[in-house]
Chain A
């Protein structure tokens, strides 16, 4: 049973518009969430994170929102650029289990020119 789910395998967005990537989780013990960007056949690159004590974290064009009651987080990219085309993977960790990052399957983002 997947504890971190990214239900959209792919998303296509026009350049300049907002990209919204979603992630749902089932474990209420998760207290830290991360987004990674991944290109095919390469390791993921850390993008942005959020602690469960916050509901929003912003870094340049990237903003992550956390809705604890809904067990849902989202990554907003605005404006979307062609270089943002990649797979975006959501991960979560639980209090007392820093080693064990639980990963989603990823969403492939395609930015159309």
Chain B
């Protein structure tokens, strides 16, 4: 496998459920990201991990909890979500070289519906 793989592709969960999204990258990158894509809105950065340490958290509600056990894997744990959290959740990775500019490579996304 190559690239960035996200599972599951689709998820429907109730507001009291606990679920996790998984992301795996096979590109040897050292930074991984979670983004939220809502309809007709720009991509919203949620979390950034570099070398397995969280370096950025854009004021995301605590019902979203990321985990990065190693440089190839990233999880997003979901707990007591609200219907407005329904969106496409995208994982991305990049190589943080310290030089200006870097391309992020995205997974296919998980379409999450909270009922």
A residues with a Cβ closer than 8 A to B are 2, 4, 31-32, 34, 41-46, 49, 51, 89, 91, 93, 95, 98-106
Within 8 Å CB of A95, what residues of B?
100
- Scoring B residues 39 to 56 as 1 if CB is less than 8 Å from chain A, else 0, what string do you get? 011110100101000011
**CB-based nearest A residue for B45:** A100
Q: Are B56 and A100 neighbours in the complex by a CB distance under 8 Å?
A: yes
Q: Are A46 and B109 neighbours in the complex by a CB distance under 8 Å?
A: no
C-alpha spacing A46/B103, complex, angstroms: 7
Q: Are A46 and B105 neighbours in the complex by a CB distance under 8 Å?
A: yes
Q: Are A99 and B100 neighbours in the complex by a CB distance under 8 Å?
A: no
C-alpha spacing A104/B92, complex, angstroms: 17
Within 8 Å CB of A101, what residues of B?
43, 45, 104
B residues with a Cβ closer than 8 A to A are 4, 6, 31, 33, 40-43, 45, 48, 50, 55-56, 88, 90-92, 94, 96, 98-109, 111
**CB-based nearest A residue for B9:** A41
Residue from A4, A44, A93 within 8 A of B106 (CB atoms) = A44
Write the nearest CB–CB distance from A78 to chain B, whole angstroms: 23
C-alpha spacing A104/B43, complex, angstroms: 8
Ordered nearest first, which 3 A-B pairs have the shortest CB separation?
A: A43-B106, A32-B101, A103-B42
Q: Are A43 and B92 neighbours in the complex by a CB distance under 8 Å?
A: yes
Q: Are B31 and A99 neighbours in the complex by a CB distance under 8 Å?
A: yes
C-alpha spacing A6/B90, complex, angstroms: 21
Q: Are B102 and A98 neighbours in the complex by a CB distance under 8 Å?
A: yes
Write the nearest CB–CB distance from A79 to chain B, whole angstroms: 25
C-alpha spacing A106/B55, complex, angstroms: 27
Within 8 Å CB of B56, what residues of A?
99-100
